[in-house]
Structure 1
Amino acid sequence: MNSRRTKIGAAAAALAASAMLLAACSGGGAADSGETTGTLDFYTNKAAWEPDFDELNGASETSVDISLNTTGYSDADQYDAFIKQSFRTSKSPGLFTWQTGSSLTELVDEGLIAETTDIWSNAVDEGWVTEDLRETYTVDGKQYCVPMNIAYWVMYYNTKIFEEQGIEVPTTWEELDAAAETLKSAGITPYYQTSTLFTFQWFQQMVAGTDPELYEGLSTGEVEYTDPEIVDIMNMWLDQHEAGWFSDAGSTVDPAVGLKQGDYAMINFGSFFNGSLDGAGMVSGEDYDMFVIPKTNPDLERTPVAVESGPLCVAENAAQKALGLAYSEWWMSPEAQTAWSEARGDVAFNPKATVSDPMLDELGTTVASDDYLVYDRYYEATPTPILTVALEQFGAFIANPGDPLPILEIIQAEADKYWADQE
């Protein structure tokens, strides 16, 4: 996930570097070369993933005669500054990583991102992606970018604890609550929770699981955080706190280690968490497993599942625009997603791809069915100024649970300011 923590020194250095770049390369972007094979310059804020992208070159060279020349940034602020400045130079990237939500919409509104509607239409027709995922990449009825990766936010659990307590995998919210009560009665903390950064997931889960339209309304300003339904959901969260269902929010124990040693039985996290659990010495399918969190409202036709998706984008004025779009088209294919899943050890967004981890393979197939509704994770769905305040306030609530209305009023005050500026 992209950190949004301010790093003043790095940001200043990035701006200085960008100023030098502007001085050397004034004017707009270069004309598209029209080339659809060759070496594609690729910029990413996932510096640690460079070996994974390099590993893909064998597959892409064989299939479409394109290889990536990857430049990775490890500092999010520096990267964002570089990308935004590059649009005003002849160095607009042929392929780069970005964020969905308001960050992507901003670039689309400025005409800086190449359209990918045809690529998406073909992928949907081929059964490579779902309509729900297409919505994540849709702005004013058109699609932009393609998914670099996805992670579904699910519930991981310690299988040995479940077995010892005779708990079956919950398929309804009522069963999930019953499992939490059983665990607490046995002296086992049901859920992991933290008061820093990852403070949003239980809120997003209960709001979307109650009413997906209510959840979406928060991201568009049509629903206020002080709406009675939101207050009721927060009070449900408070009741769970008072029942002792959550772990110490200030613990410094690694979450994967905590699940392994039984500090708690369950943890709501993205499907990339397999790697952390494997690294902690837990065995997939033996020591830990996962399940899609049941919908809070049993009357919903489909079970909502939060998806975290980072896009691969092509600049509209890039000299390598055609090359970037050709790679994007290949990227959506089962072949590319099979290679990516093998390199990353993660779930594939294409249900026709082959995923080596049986647990992740089953998750991808399950969520792609008509029984599930994929929605944007709160971190991407919420405009940045509102998100910053909300993460702080949710963290305060988690650290010191109490009447939720005051924190909701603080978040709504920031939302009022933001949406007023958009008029």
Structure 2
Amino acid sequence: MKYRTLLASAAIFAATGTAVTAQDISFSYDKNGWETGFQALSDGASEASGLNISPQLQTPTDRYQAFVQSSIAGGNTPPLFTWWNGKQLDSLVETGQVADLSAAWDKAIAEGYFSEAEKAQVSVDGVPYAVPLNVARWPVLYSKEAFEAAGIDNPPQTWEELTAAAEALKAAGYTPFNAPNVGGWMGLIWFSELMIRTDPDAFVGLTDGTVPYNGPEVKAAFDIWVDFYERGYFTDPREQDDTRFFVNGEAAMWLIGEWAAGVLETKGMEPGEDFGAFIMPTVTPEVENSIIVETAPIVVSRQALEQQPELSAAVDYLMSPAAGNALGEANGIYNGNIQSDAPNAIVAEVNELMAAQQPRGIVRWWEAVPPDLQGDLVSQLGAFMLNPTADNAQRIMDDMQTLNADYWAYQ
């Protein structure tokens, strides 16, 4: 997303950024259902800084994005706000309106709160411009009851074991994978996963224009996707309650961010007891083991930090174990702070898997793809899920590449 996109958004929404005053610092976000956690973070940041920091929820996401973009274009950047990393963060940095948080990161790393890996997730050209709100790895959650009923003793470690488990689950009366296209955006999840299980370098190449969407690397992923649908491995994509089939026991596995463990807990499923987690294996052994990492950053207005230096104390708090624990206790969210407690057994299990397997962390497609392409490409992937045939897959790949080529031709 270039600066022109920010200016265009101003035509949709009037600049409504909150004025920076000592008594009123807004903390804007679009994470519906996280209200308790944002209130806890705001309370802690207020106490640490002496400022009155108040959370402001705005949904849906497209409206929230337009609000932030128009505010920046109008010179009224929200003091604190959540965003996305990857190329979405790049576009904000281009405006010059977000603060360099190198000083806060230097302190946090020196204290052992975060590693350089987390810093890299919120950096542009090596400079950190955000604080992690949520660092979520994307494993496969699995129902322990379903696995037991199907005679599966351990989570699959190879692709052959994965497909064998899916067949055993089908035989036991389960749909292997919960895969609703909630909100029209879930298509990117399976597309991304199958790409990194076959060729993670090609997946990265899709996000910078060096790999075409209708090339052999993408076709290999779509071939598996089509095959899985033909085998009956997926639930109805039209379902709009993303937890329904997993919670009611119809689906046995769910490819999702580990943050979903907290959501499932509110639905009566106990993390670690009712369900566990594993990292999906690669299709062939020579493929590098990888995992999608979703990092939701908190961004700070450069102007706000200059006018209210006390805001730096709020930033330091947001990078502390206390903040990580507050968010974890409120919403079951893990922000990547090494010294914070794992908010639930699934996060602890994924931490152990990461330490044991050392997979390559890959920025999620949503954040990595150029924002100007994001909506159109996601729509194409959703259209495939509604008609998952080989012929439609080829049409989707060709249409995606047309959009992709048109975009990169002007960069």
Task: Assess same fold via TM > 0.5.
Answer: yes
The aligned runs of 1:22-171 (5 Å cut-off) are 40-46=25-31, 48-57=33-42, 59-60=44-45, 65=50, 68-87=53-72, 91-167=76-152, 168-171=154-157
Q: Determine what percentage of the aligned residue pairs are the same residue.
A: 32
Match of 1:376 in 2: 363
Match of 2:294 in 1: 308
**In the alignment, residue 221 of structure 1 is paired with which amino acid?**
G
Match of 1:409 in 2: 398
**Distance change >3 Å, CA 48–CA 201, structure 1 → 2:** closer
> TM-score normalized by structure 2?
0.86
* Unmatched segments (≥5 aa) in structure 1: 1-10
User: Distance between the aligned counterparts of 1:338 and 1:320, measured in 2?
Assistant: 29
Q: Does 1:397 align with 2:392?
A: no
Equivalent residue of 1:113, what SS?
coil
User: Distance between the aligned counterparts of 2:307 and 2:80, measured in 1?
Assistant: 8
Q: Is the 8 A contact 1:278 1:284 kept in 2?
A: yes
How far off its partner does 1:371 sit?
Answer: 0.9
* Unmatched segments (≥5 aa) in structure 2: 1-8
User: Distance between the aligned counterparts of 1:329 and 1:295, measured in 2?
Assistant: 39
The C-alpha deviation readout for 1:209-250, integer Å capped at 9, x for no partner, is 233221111111111112212211211221222222112222
**Distance change >3 Å, CA 229–CA 83, structure 1 → 2:** closer
Equivalent residue of 2:379, what SS?
helix
Equivalent residue of 1:43, what SS?
strand
The aligned runs of 1:269-308 (5 Å cut-off) are 269-300=256-287, 303-308=289-294
> TM-score normalized by structure 1?
0.84
Match of 1:223 in 2: 211
Tell me the matched-pair count: 397
User: Distance between the aligned counterparts of 1:293 and 1:131, measured in 2?
Assistant: 25
Match of 1:255 in 2: 242
Q: Is the 8 A contact 1:207 1:230 kept in 2?
A: yes
CA RMSD after TM alignment: 2.9
Q: Does 1:183 align with 2:169?
A: yes
Q: Is the 8 A contact 1:94 1:320 kept in 2?
A: no
**In the alignment, residue 344 of structure 2 is paired with which amino acid?**
D
Q: Does 1:197 align with 2:197?
A: no
The aligned runs of 1:328-407 (5 Å cut-off) are 328-367=315-354, 371-403=358-390, 404-407=393-396
**In the alignment, residue 144 of structure 2 is paired with which amino acid?**
T
How far off its partner does 1:160 sit?
Answer: 0.7
**Distance change >3 Å, CA 328–CA 298, structure 1 → 2:** farther
Match of 1:4 in 2: none
**Distance change >3 Å, CA 91–CA 260, structure 1 → 2:** closer
**In the alignment, residue 217 of structure 1 is paired with which amino acid?**
G
Equivalent residue of 1:191, what SS?
strand
The C-alpha deviation readout for 1:358-393, integer Å capped at 9, x for no partner, is 332332454366712222111111123322222222
User: Distance between the aligned counterparts of 1:365 and 1:321, measured in 2?
Assistant: 40
How far off its partner does 1:68 sit?
Answer: 2.0
Q: Is the 8 A contact 2:277 2:349 kept in 1?
A: no
Q: Does 1:208 align with 2:196?
A: yes
**Distance change >3 Å, CA 134–CA 172, structure 1 → 2:** farther
Equivalent residue of 2:225, what SS?
helix
How far off its partner does 1:39 sit?
Answer: 6.3
How far off its partner does 1:415 sit?
Answer: 0.6
Q: Which moved more, 1:328-337 or 1:120-129?
A: 120-129
Q: Does 1:238 align with 2:226?
A: yes
How far off its partner does 1:407 sit?
Answer: 1.0
